[in-house]
Amino acid sequence: MARVEETGGDREENKEEETSWWSPEAVEGGRVGEGPSRGSRGGRGGDGGRPDTPPPPPYSDQVLENVLENVLQFLVCRRDRNAASLVCRSWYRAEAQTRRELSVGNCYAVSPARVVRRFRCARALVLKGRPRFADFNLFPLGWGARFSPWLAAMATAYPWLERVCLKRMTVSDSDLAFLARSFPSFRDLTLICCDGFGTAGLAVIAVLCRNLRILDLIENDVEDEEEEVIDWISRFPETTTSLESLSFECVNCPVNFSALEALVARSPSLRRLRVNQNVSLGQLRRLMARAPHLTHLGTGSFRPGIAEDLNVADLEQAFVSSKSLICLSGFREVAPEHLPAILPVCANLVSLNLSYAVITAEQLKPVILKCNNLRTFWVLDTVGDEGLLAVAKACKNLHELRVFPFEATEDSEGSVSDVGLVAISNGCRKLQSILFFCQRMTNSAVVAMSKNCQDLVVFRLCIMGRHRPDHITREPMDEGFGAIVMNCKKLTRLAVSGLLTDKVFKYIATHGKSIRTLSVAFAGDSDLSLKYVLEGCHSLQKLEIRDSPFGDVGLLSGIHHYYNMRFLWMSSCMLTLSGCKEVAQKMPNLVVEVIGDRPKDLDSDTVEKLYLYRSLEGPRDDVPLFVNIL
């Protein structure tokens, strides 16, 4: 394969093909508009014909590359690195040698073998598997995104691996054990929304990872072992640990408290501790006494245990002593009368998560009115519009707000509404990110927010009753969302809901030029909506759609853009097998998966679930029975 030659006019062409072999994300908007050439995967220039390392460059170039490596190692930002790697082959090589953190947004877009071949010296991996809709039971179990193949490749290639962060991957106990055994320098493990593991895996991590600094388990679906729950907390070595962060709120099994207390006592570097709801208030107080320098605290149940007799004053003292606290969460079963115990730290709080605390506005007010430096606030809608008014009054620096529903059903009463949204928009002018669940909303409230909060980057409004119009005018919610895309110029993420026609999608297409993630559910009238979005939203990376009347015509209108996207998800729409096949035929570097809940689903012509994504690898080899790759 003559491609290996460095010189000559080949260079420009080689550069394009090479970038398509790594991450399509490396090529910013529009560059791979035509898609990588068909042959780039298997034919000319494909991996099969290319040796693992090109022959070494001439001596002078080697010196230059070494110098370059020394400079490039200071480049940290992924986009900068991707850009640097496109300059020429020399830079490409140097960058590949010096990249320490690998970030793979879709574990099926690129194979472990390919990654490991290009990047030789990685120390950290960030890997994402299933798309977000998997969190809502839309992906059948066993669909994929297993960590094992990545682990196998890295065990030989990156013996000095230090950090792993996984999101929505399936990680088994044996994976965790293998990880613990394979990487002696391993330090940081973060698992977010993953599944497949239980306390057995955690125990091995505890025992073998002697340099563990971070063990953050966030909203994982930890396997319920019932009889075989292992006391993993007591498996940490008896010596002083290097733990800086320990989060296990989602590991919902009883905790050996004395082991936990002893662990905290011998972890002088511990700054972030988030315990599960089986830790009582009295126990929490003891933990806080052991770790007075904590910055982040997940408080567990925040309820006295059965035999515990605590008064608020005692508890308050614990908070007075924790002068470094800036982030509080937990409150899983909070006894509201104990909440004021946190008052001493409120003024310093930057982040407060009360989204599991079933409290009223009256119970919230004394606390929130002191939280004047709050930037992130998560809360339950039980505080009502009145509670939100208090937030608006007190938290002038608020950047992120999330209001979750206590009753997550379509026909629940709903305690927050347009009134609360307007209040927030008036008081929190610096708002950048909002997630708001409600049952009643008006266009004028959303318009108000679009005008008051011009810094909005993320706007996610979920009107839980499907197809609900503006509850005062009875009009569709088109104008509200239209105003958001028109006025919030920095918007990159949008989730729409309520009664919506094709019109709103025209607005989104016209004004939402920076939108990268769009979530659509029960919206739109016709294929026009999908067409508008795919033709107009040039920055679109992730599009997730459910239960909307979009069919093959809409799907096909995105053919020019799918290579620029990470994925498209469409479920319960009006797609047919022939439409999806056409997309698959026209776009060879796209993997088009048709997912069925039952085997017979795959035989019918209607496509219930479509998941398509660009990939350098073609159809994956771990396809389960209920998935058909076209």
Partner 1 sequence: MEAVAASYVKDTELRLGLPGSEAPEKPAMRGGKRALPEDDEAAFCKSSPEDASGLRSVGAAPVAKAQVVGWPPIRTYRKNNFQARKAETGADASGLFVKVSMDGAPYLRKIDLKLYQGYKELKEALDSMFKSFSQGESSRKEGCNGSEYAITYEDKDGDLMLVGDVPWEMFTSSCKRLRIMKASEARGLESKQ
Q: How many residues of this chain bind partner 1 (CB under 8 A)?
A: 58
- For position 412 contacting partner 1 by CB under 8 A, the verdict is yes
Considering only 53, 409, 473, 578, the residue that binds partner 1 (CB under 8 A) is: 409
Sketch the per residue contact string, 92 through 131, with partner 1: x for CB under 8 A, - otherwise: ----------------------------------------
Closest distance to partner 1 from the beta carbon of 315 (Å): 21
Cα separation, 161 vs 147, in Å, equals 15
Closest distance to partner 1 from the beta carbon of 463 (Å): 9
Mark the segment that binds partner 1 (CB under 8 A) among 84-92, 104-112, 218-226, 450-458: 218-226
Q: According to CB under 8 A, which residues from 477 to 496 bind partner 1?
A: none
Mark the segment that binds partner 1 (CB under 8 A) among 92-100, 422-430, 457-465, 486-494: 457-465
Q: How many helices (H) and strands (E) does the chain have?
A: 22, 21
Cα separation, 603 vs 537, in Å, equals 34
Considering only 3, 343, 369, 406, the residue that binds partner 1 (CB under 8 A) is: 406
- For position 341 contacting partner 1 by CB under 8 A, the verdict is no
Closest distance to partner 1 from the beta carbon of 532 (Å): 16
CA angle 16, 17, 22 (to 5 degrees): 100
Nearer to partner 1, 186 or 522 (CB): 522
Closest distance to partner 1 from the beta carbon of 4 (Å): 43
Task: Mention every residue, 6+ apart, whose C-beta is less than 8 A from residue 56.
Answer: 62
Mark the segment that binds partner 1 (CB under 8 A) among 289-297, 486-494, 575-583, 618-626: 618-626
Cα separation, 61 vs 80, in Å, equals 22
Closest distance to partner 1 from the beta carbon of 629 (Å): 17
DSSP one-letter code for 184: T
- For position 441 contacting partner 1 by CB under 8 A, the verdict is no
Please state at what angle helix 418-427 crosses helix 384-394, rounded to 10 degrees: 0
208 contacts 201 by C-beta, under 8 angstroms: no
Closest distance to partner 1 from the beta carbon of 596 (Å): 8
Cα separation, 261 vs 383, in Å, equals 34
- For position 625 contacting partner 1 by CB under 8 A, the verdict is yes
Closest distance to partner 1 from the beta carbon of 519 (Å): 8
- For position 330 contacting partner 1 by CB under 8 A, the verdict is no
Closest distance to partner 1 from the beta carbon of 267 (Å): 27
Nearer to partner 1, 505 or 563 (CB): 505
- For position 608 contacting partner 1 by CB under 8 A, the verdict is yes
Considering only 437, 505, 567, 569, the residue that binds partner 1 (CB under 8 A) is: 437
Please name the residue that has the structure tokens 């709801």.
277
Q: According to CB under 8 A, which residues from 529 to 558 bind partner 1?
A: 546-549
Write the CA distances from 223 to 255, 260, 494, integer angstroms.
16, 21, 33
Strand partners, 354: 379
- For position 333 contacting partner 1 by CB under 8 A, the verdict is yes
Sketch the per residue contact string, 568 through 607, with partner 1: x for CB under 8 A, - otherwise: ----xxx----------------------xxxx-----x-
- For position 368 contacting partner 1 by CB under 8 A, the verdict is no
Cα separation, 302 vs 298, in Å, equals 10
- For position 337 contacting partner 1 by CB under 8 A, the verdict is no
- For position 135 contacting partner 1 by CB under 8 A, the verdict is yes
Look up residue 409 and give its two tokens.
């059903």
Q: According to CB under 8 A, which residues from 225 to 284 bind partner 1?
A: 225-226, 250, 277
3-state SS, residue 609: strand
Sign of the CA dihedral running 460, 462, 467, 469: negative
Closest Cα partner for 610 from 590, 508, 460, 499?
Answer: 590
Pairing mode, strands 567-576 and 606-614:
antiparallel
Considering only 198, 201, 498, 579, the residue that binds partner 1 (CB under 8 A) is: 198
- For position 149 contacting partner 1 by CB under 8 A, the verdict is no
- Residue 520's Cβ-side half-sphere holds a number of Cα atoms within 13 Å equal to 29
Nearer to partner 1, 362 or 597 (CB): 597
Q: What is the DSSP string of 317-379?
A: HHHHH-TT--EEE--TT--GGGGGGGHHHHTT-SEEEETT----HHHHHHHHTT-TT--EEEE
- For position 216 contacting partner 1 by CB under 8 A, the verdict is no
Please name the residue that has the structure tokens 């590359």.
65
Mark the segment that binds partner 1 (CB under 8 A) among 208-216, 342-350, 425-433, 622-630: 622-630
Look up residue 315 and give its two tokens.
């508890």
Cα separation, 133 vs 149, in Å, equals 23
Cα separation, 364 vs 370, in Å, equals 10
Closest distance to partner 1 from the beta carbon of 408 (Å): 4
- The residues binding partner 1 (CB under 8 A) are 133, 135-138, 140-142, 193, 198, 219, 221, 223-226, 250, 277, 332-333, 355-356, 358, 404-412, 437, 462, 464-467, 521-522, 524-525, 546-549, 572-574, 597-600, 606, 608, 624-626
